[in-house]
Amino acid sequence: MKIFLLTLLINISQITFGQKMENTYFTWDGFADNFGKEMVSAQDVYDQMVKSGLTDNSLANFDFHFVSDKKENLEKLSQFISEHYPYEIKTIKSIENNLWELNGLTNEIPVTADNLLYWGLDMYKRGYEFDSKLDGYGALFDHKTPKLPDLDKSKEDFYFDKGIACYNSGDLSAAVINWTLVLIINPNEPNAYYSRAIVKNELYTWKSALRDYDKAIEIAPNFISALTNRGSLKDENGDHLGAIADYNKVIEVKDVDLENKQMAYFNRGNSKFNLDKKNDACEDWKIAFELGAEYASDRINQHCKK
């Protein structure tokens, strides 16, 4: 397995549940309020497919539909999808109630409950980014002679590299799906858990991301990037003590590289500050700065006495 590590240093630029935009049709409140419903919808679609005879990982092309109150929103979404996903855009047309609808078709996707969930969340997020709402999807499939992905051991690197390519192109759900295929072939591949965790967090499922970081670290206890990211994820979700424990592990690892040591001290300072331990936080930020982390100077200047 090639070692490729997506880099995510969460505590320098805090990641939140999305980014508020000036949407007028599909607003931030609508996006956040309906997020859980979108997850339930994905499970419902999967359950219906299972009732119709679906075998897990059967390959299927999904029809999908977005709606918006402005044609130009869907035109921009259409262009984005065409540039970043291997999907076919079929039509953009006017429908009832002064709305517009975009129709398209995916490439073949191996269908499982999780794969469908992350594909749905990916599309839900992309729609929101263009003030459009994912309005429905479904697929026809041959339950008698299903087409399945090749899960031979020799395909492990292929799927891992494909996940990287998909991530780099912006196709987040395909990245998750390909790294999941890696884990079917080799359940003990920590890099796949780590990489998948990053994308799961980008799709706002931080608890599932945390479980993937846990698994990566269980397999590779000194996985520095996984420890750093897990600490950051714990911190931003209120587990400051758990975050500090992860940063301590990074600092204690023999011969840890300078960049990760800087980040561990800086992030540990953030977590201590969140626990109202300002003096201890300042000590860590100053160590980070002395190690060359110039970004720590803002925190020092703002919170620490000279």
Task: Give residue 160's pLDDT band: very low, low, confident or very high (50, 70, 90).
Answer: very high
Domain that includes residue 73, residue range: 28-139
122 pLDDT band, cuts 50/70/90, is very high
Question: 11-25, 89-103, 190-204, 256-270: which range is least confident on average?
Answer: 11-25
Domains of the chain: total: 2
What average pLDDT score do residues 77-93 get?
A: 98
pLDDT mean across residues, the chain: 93
Whether residue 117 is contained in a domain is answered as yes
**Coil, strand or helix at 147:** coil
Q: What percent of the chain has pLDDT over 70?
A: 93
Q: What is the pLDDT of residue 22?
A: 83
Q: Is residue 179 part of a domain?
A: no
150: alpha, beta or left, given left = phi > 0 and alpha = psi -120 to 50? beta
Does this model's pTM top 0.75? My answer is yes
Is residue 193 one of the residues assigned to a domain? no
Q: Could you report the per-residue pLDDT of 33-51, keeping only the tens digit for each?
A: 999 999 999 999 999 999 9
**Backbone angles phi and psi of 156, in degrees to 5:** -60, -50
pLDDT tens digits, one per residue of 105-120: 999 999 999 999 999 9
pLDDT at 144 over 60: yes
User: Domain for residue 276, yes or no?
Assistant: yes
pLDDT tens track for 52-76: 999 999 999 999 999 999 999 999 9
199-252 pLDDT, tens per residue? 999 999 999 999 999 999 999 999 999 999 999 999 999 999 999 999 999 999
Residues 6+ apart with CB under 8 A from 218: none
Statement to judge: residues 125 and 34 lie in one domain: yes
Compute the average pLDDT of residues 181-188: 98
Q: Give residue 12's pLDDT.
A: 31
> Per-residue confidence at 142, pLDDT binned at 50, 70, 90?
confident
Shared domain for 135 and 232, answered yes or no, is no
- Given this model, what pLDDT does residue 306 score? 62
Q: Is the pLDDT of residue 15 over 50?
A: no
Q: Is residue 252 part of a domain?
A: yes
What are the pLDDT digits (tens) for 263-285? 999 999 999 999 999 999 999 99
Nearest to 62 by CA among 140, 148, 147, 171: 140
Q: What is the dihedral of CA 172, 177, 181, 186, to 10 degrees?
A: 50
* Rounded Cα distance, 204 and 216, in Å: 19
- Confidence grade of residue 5 (pLDDT, cut at 50, 70, 90): very low
Q: Does 13 have pLDDT greater than 80?
A: no
Domain-embedded: residue 255 = yes
- Note whether 102 and 91 are within 8 A (CB): yes
- The reply to whether 98 falls in a domain is yes
Angle (CA) 245 250 254, round 5°: 135
CATH number (domain holding residue 282):
1.25.40.10
- Confidence category of residue 93, pLDDT binned at 50, 70, 90: very high
Domain CATH code at residue 69 = 3.30.70.970
Residue 108 within any structural domain of the chain: yes
* Domain stop point among 139, 162, 194: 139
Strand partners, 58: 111
In this structure, what token pair is assigned to residue 72? 């130009």
Pick the residue with more confidence: 12 or 256?
256
- Decide which of 92, 108, 139 is a domain's last residue: 139
pLDDT, one tens digit per residue, over 283-292 is 999 999 999 9
Residue 125, pLDDT > 60, answer yes
